[in-house]
């Protein structure tokens, strides 16, 4: 509560005095006035974190003050002090934007506790704001986070395609953020007020999938005891996210193609079609062109869906994003679990950045959740992380521990690390990286190829 700026508004001298004495002791910065009118003037002129305000006062009462604050868009936390038992008044105050209320008379402890709660809420609110500011600061889009060049390109494409109705096909390994990208498209689109409906085409048995997608009428099949609206209709006016589209059985691919071409769905067992206004975003783990070649996916549907294709890069292709994601996930876990972990220690960060992340960001999220839970201090150590990360010992560490003697392997490892770092520092600029490494540009190109490093 140190340095909390508090304004006291009460017409009773004794209350102003008692509050001032108590809160000054807690380290708050104070001012006290006698009525709502003076309080309003004070709030226009200066910024306060919390206002402790009586309800009945001459000139301007507490409820009127709350209305004035709302009209003038002055944001501050108002705690109303109302006579004991006057619940209706307290509820009225909350409806008008008060943050909390406290019954009069109150003890010193009660007022300190109420203020402490408000102060904690302010702190969390500020942290959230900082988090949001950091995320919107070119380092993310919607819930997607990333500052690497490949992710910046993804964000730019998502923003551009969001305004159109064209179908988007998202590809990428599991856990790369395809569903988050689909949500970002929806949220940035003119349909954002409409529904976002997601279905995993690979997770529903073929027999149910048709009625799930298109709906059915009563009696269409044995279990159809009533009419059922399909997801196409549920998503009308919004976006339908078809995850794992490659898993869609061939028989349904024909039906989907028809819906996309005609803009109408026909429920199973129905004789007529109804128009639907849905934007489709599809996703696949697989190379769809290959599925077409293998005869598993209809070519005509592929072309219909693949109007705009966007690949979400694997996490190992953008190690620069790892520290940012780690920080973000730690803060998220702290808020969820009430922990106060601050960071990962250097050895753990080294392991996090060099691990190949086959499960991509989802796996990183789970690793950090485990790290936060296991950590016994403010820092996550290597021991707190999942075993697969601890096992990913670098040849360098192996040399230090005496397990590895090959000069060839060690030099290659060193070169790989130095090249990756130089590219990170120069944000992928190869000429600048070559200068830092003190090798020729041409030599760097050979090494990039040798070590399969994607600049
Ligand atoms: N760029 C990112 N920023 C922040 N969180 C991310 C990012 N990418 C993925 N995640 C996290 O990983 C989880 C999985 O993401 P998402 O479900 O979008 O992946 P996906 O590619 O659709 O996976 P799958 O193919 O397995 O369904 C999310 O819940 C989120 O926690």
**CA 276 to ligand 1 center in whole angstroms:** 29
The CATH fold assigned to 142-313 is Rossmann fold (3.40.50)
Question: What is the distance between the alpha carbons of residues 179 and 212, in angstroms, rounded to a whole number?
Answer: 19
Q: Which residue has the CA at smallest separation from atom 2 of ligand 1?
A: 144
pLDDT at 155: 94
The CATH fold assigned to 316-392 is Helicase, Ruva Protein; domain 3 (1.10.8)
Q: Which of 49-63, 78-92, 186-200 shows the lowest mean pLDDT across its residues?
A: 78-92
Closest atom of ligand 1 to CA, residue 182? 18
Chain centroid to CA 200: 21
Count of Cβ atoms closer than 10 Å to residue 112 Cβ: 17
**CA 214 to ligand 1 center in whole angstroms:** 27
Task: Kindly state if the Cβ of 286 falls inside 6 Å of ligand 1.
Answer: no
ipTM for the predicted complex comes to: 0.98
pLDDT at 242: 96
Q: Is the pLDDT of residue 34 over 90?
A: yes
What's this model's pTM, rounded to 2 decimal places?
Answer: 0.62
Given its phi and psi angles, is residue 37 left (phi above 0), alpha (psi -120 to 50 degrees) or beta?
alpha
Task: Kindly state if the Cβ of 180 falls inside 6 Å of ligand 1.
Answer: yes
Q: Is the pLDDT of residue 443 over 50?
A: yes
Whether the Cβ atoms of residue 181 and residue 154 lie closer than 8 Å to each other: yes
**CA 335 to ligand 1 center in whole angstroms:** 19
Share of the chain above pLDDT 90, in %: 49
Chain centroid to CA 241: 18
Higher pLDDT, 38 or 82: 38
pLDDT at 78: 94
Q: Is the pLDDT of residue 325 over 70?
A: yes
The pairs formed by 419-426 with CB atoms below 8 angstroms and a separation of 24 or more are: 419/444, 419/447, 419/448, 419/451, 419/453, 420/319, 420/453, 423/453, 423/455, 424/319, 424/320
**CA 91 to ligand 1 center in whole angstroms:** 41
pLDDT, tens digit, for every residue of 69-78?
A: 988 878 889 9
Question: What is the distance between the alpha carbons of residues 322 and 348, in angstroms, rounded to a whole number?
Answer: 12
Domain at 397-450: CATH code:
1.10.10.60
Higher pLDDT, 132 or 319: 319
- Residue 49's H or E segment, with its range, is none
Count of Cβ atoms closer than 10 Å to residue 132 Cβ: 11
Q: Is the pLDDT of residue 170 over 70?
A: yes
pLDDT at 135: 47
Question: What is the distance between the alpha carbons of residues 312 and 360, in angstroms, rounded to a whole number?
Answer: 11
| Predicted confidence band of residue 302 (pLDDT cuts 50, 70, 90) | very high
pLDDT at 15: 92
**CA 181 to ligand 1 center in whole angstroms:** 8
Task: Kindly state if the Cβ of 39 falls inside 6 Å of ligand 1.
Answer: no
Given its phi and psi angles, is residue 32 left (phi above 0), alpha (psi -120 to 50 degrees) or beta?
beta
pLDDT, the chain, mean: 88
Question: What residues does each domain of the chain span?
Answer: 5-133, 142-313, 316-392, 397-450
Q: Which residue has the CA at smallest separation from atom 13 of ligand 1?
A: 362
Ligand 1 pocket mutation, candidates 180, 246, 313, criterion most atoms within 8 A of CB: 180
pLDDT, tens digit, for every residue of 335-383?
A: 888 888 988 888 888 889 888 898 999 999 999 999 999 998 889 999 9
- Residue 17's H or E segment, with its range, is helix 13-25
Task: Kindly state if the Cβ of 178 falls inside 6 Å of ligand 1.
Answer: yes
pLDDT, tens digit, for every residue of 423-442?
A: 888 888 999 999 999 999 99
Task: Kindly state if the Cβ of 327 falls inside 6 Å of ligand 1.
Answer: no
Share of the chain above pLDDT 70, in %: 93
**CA 142 to ligand 1 center in whole angstroms:** 12
Q: Is the pLDDT of residue 144 over 60?
A: yes
Q: Is the pLDDT of residue 454 over 80?
A: no
Task: Kindly state if the Cβ of 147 falls inside 6 Å of ligand 1.
Answer: no
The CATH fold assigned to 5-133 is Rossmann fold (3.40.50)
Task: Kindly state if the Cβ of 177 falls inside 6 Å of ligand 1.
Answer: yes
Candidates 86, 102, 89; CA nearest to 51 is: 102
pLDDT, tens digit, for every residue of 223-274?
A: 777 788 889 999 999 999 999 999 999 989 999 999 999 989 988 888 888 8
pLDDT at 90: 83
pLDDT, tens digit, for every residue of 383-419?
A: 999 988 877 556 666 666 566 677 877 788 788 888 9
pLDDT, tens digit, for every residue of 104-135?
A: 888 999 999 999 998 888 888 777 666 555 54
The reply to whether 397-450 shares the fold of 5-133 is: no
Candidates 286, 310, 305, 280; CA nearest to 198 is: 280
Question: What is the distance between the alpha carbons of residues 128 and 335, in angstroms, rounded to a whole number?
Answer: 9
**CA 1 to ligand 1 center in whole angstroms:** 38
Mean pLDDT of the 33-53 span: 90
Task: Kindly state if the Cβ of 62 falls inside 6 Å of ligand 1.
Answer: no
3-state secondary structure of 381: coil
Task: Kindly state if the Cβ of 421 falls inside 6 Å of ligand 1.
Answer: no
Beta bridge partners of 145: 140
Task: Kindly state if the Cβ of 285 falls inside 6 Å of ligand 1.
Answer: yes
Count of Cβ atoms closer than 10 Å to residue 441 Cβ: 12
Q: How far is CA 273 from CA 17, 207, 208, 231, in A?
A: 74, 21, 20, 15
Chain centroid to CA 236: 25
**CA 327 to ligand 1 center in whole angstroms:** 16
Task: Kindly state if the Cβ of 142 falls inside 6 Å of ligand 1.
Answer: no
| Predicted confidence band of residue 449 (pLDDT cuts 50, 70, 90) | confident
């Amino acid at each position: 509560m140190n340095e909390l700026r508090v304004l006291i508004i009460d017409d009773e001298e004794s209350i102003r005095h008692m509050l001032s004495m108590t809160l000054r002791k807690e380290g708050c910065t104070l001012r006290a006035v006698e009525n709502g009118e003076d309080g309003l003037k004070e709030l226009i002129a200066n910024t306060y974190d919390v206002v402790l305000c009586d309800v009945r006062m001459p000139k301007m009462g507490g409820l009127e003050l709350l209305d004035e604050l709302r009209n003038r868009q002055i944001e501050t936390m108002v705690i109303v002090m109302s006579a004991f038992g006057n619940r209706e008044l307290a509820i009225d105050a909350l409806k008008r934007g008060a943050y909390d209320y406290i019954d009069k008379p109150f003890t010193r402890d009660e007022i300190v506790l109420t203020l402490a709660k408000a102060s904690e809420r302010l702190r969390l609110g500020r942290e959230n704001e900082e988090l949001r500011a950091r995320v919107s600061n070119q380092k993310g889009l919607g819930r997607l986070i990333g500052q690497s060049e490949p992710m910046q390109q993804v964000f730019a494409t998502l923003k551009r395609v969001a305004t159109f109705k064209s179908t988007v096909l998202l590809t990428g390994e599991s856990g790369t953020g395809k569903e988050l990208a689909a949500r970002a498209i929806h949220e940035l689109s003119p349909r954002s007020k409409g529904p976002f409906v997601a279905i995993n085409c690979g997770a529903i048995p073929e027999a149910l999938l048709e009625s799930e997608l298109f709906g059915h009428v009563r009696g269409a099949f044995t279990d159809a005891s009533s009419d059922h609206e399909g997801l196409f209709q549920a998503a009308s006016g919004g976006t339908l996210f078809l995850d794992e589209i490659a898993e869609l059985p061939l028989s349904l691919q024909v039906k989907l193609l028809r819906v996309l071409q005609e803009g109408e769905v026909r429920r199973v067992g129905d004789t007529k079609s109804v128009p639907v206004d849905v934007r489709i975003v599809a996703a696949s783990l697989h190379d769809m062109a290959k599925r077409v070649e293998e005869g598993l996916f209809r070519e005509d549907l592929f072309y219909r869906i693949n109007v705009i294709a966007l690949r979400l890069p694997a996490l190992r292709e953008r190690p620069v994003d790892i520290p940012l994601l780690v920080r973000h996930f730690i803060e998220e876990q702290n808020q969820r679990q009430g922990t106060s972990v601050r960071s990962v220690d250097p050895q753990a960060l080294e392991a996090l950045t060099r691990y190949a992340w086959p499960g991509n960001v989802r796996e990183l999220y789970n690793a950090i959740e485990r790290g936060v839970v296991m950590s016994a201090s403010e820092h996550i150590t290597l021991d707190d992380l999942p075993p697969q990360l601890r096992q990913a010992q670098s040849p360098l560490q192996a040399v230090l521990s005496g397990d590895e003697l090959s000069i060839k392997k060690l030099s290659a490892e060193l070169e790989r690390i130095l090249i990756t770092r130089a590219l990170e520092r120069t944000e992928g600029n190869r000429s600048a990286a070559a200068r830092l490494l003190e090798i020729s540009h041409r030599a760097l190109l050979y090494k990039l190829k040798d070590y399969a490093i994607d600049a």
